[in-house]
């Protein structure tokens, strides 16, 4: 995964260099985004290897605010998502449920329609477990999320985005997600 991230950063730098002199489109303002994608939750169960991963469909929404200064975009955002990921076996099940996120992002405008960005912040995941000695427990786990993506303007107010993010929670739980979104600036 590190090689893919490094290759993407090099490609973005190479693509950005020729367009630095162009006037950038405005990415400032309040925005709302509907998101959906792939969710892989690793529950960190000792001795389970890769069998402790729950794959599922992720869906939700985010609300944020960006400020653009020249080709640099600074932003904050909050997000709520739900996942269909579930791990079952041995009469037990663990569900990857809702996830909350609040953080910041820093981006660089490429041309007048694309924004390459990185993000980081606080995340809180909820999980539920039942059967196999779990006894129907539910819990929340605090963590940190980092990610990177691209946002592309379709018009002055509409945009699409694609993003990869990694979340690391307490108790050895982690998440890898690939999401896409459609949003509007108000």
Give residue-wise pLDDT tens across range 54-111. Answer: 899 999 999 999 999 999 999 999 999 999 988 877 777 778 889 999 999 999 999 9
pLDDT tens digits, 134-181: 555 568 889 999 999 999 999 999 999 999 999 999 878 899 999 999
Cα separation values, 80 from 52, 58, 99, Å: 24, 10, 6
User: pLDDT by residue (tens digit) across 111-133?
Assistant: 989 999 999 999 999 988 777 65
Round to whole Å and give the CA distance between 29 and 41: 33
- ∠ at Cα 78 (72, 81), nearest 5°? 125
Residue 54 · residue 44 · CB < 8 Å: no
The answer to whether the CB of 147 falls within 8 A of the CB of 162 is no
* Other residues' Cβ atoms within 10 Å of the Cβ of residue 69: 8
Q: Which residue has the higher pLDDT, 23 or 30?
A: 30
Tokens of 150: 């691209």
Backbone φ and ψ of 3, nearest 5°: -65, -40
Residue 87: what pLDDT? 81
Cβ-contact 44, 83 below 8 angstroms: no
Six token digits for residue 164:
């990869």
């Amino acid at each position: 995964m590190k090689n893919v991230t490094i290759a993407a950063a090099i490609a973005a730098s190479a693509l950005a260099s020729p367009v630095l002199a162009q006037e950038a489109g405005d990415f400032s303002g309040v925005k709302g985004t509907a998101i959906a994608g792939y969710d892989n939750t690793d529950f960190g169960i000792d001795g389970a290897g890769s069998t402790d991963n729950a794959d599922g469909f992720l869906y939700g929404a985010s609300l944020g605010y960006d400020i653009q200064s020249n080709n640099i975009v600074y932003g904050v955002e909050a997000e709520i998502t739900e996942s269909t990921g579930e791990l079952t076996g041995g009469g037990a099940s663990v569900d990857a449920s809702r996830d909350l996120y609040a953080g910041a992002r820093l981006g660089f405008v490429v041309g007048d329609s694309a924004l390459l960005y990185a993000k980081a912040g606080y995340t809180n995941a909820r999980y539920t477990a039942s059967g196999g000695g779990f006894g129907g427990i539910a819990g929340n786990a605090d963590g940190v999320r980092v990610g990177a993506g691209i946002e592309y303007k379709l018009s002055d107010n509409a945009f699409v985005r694609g993003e990869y993010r990694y979340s690391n929670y307490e108790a050895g739980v982690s998440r890898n997600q690939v999401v896409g979104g459609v949003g509007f600036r108000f």
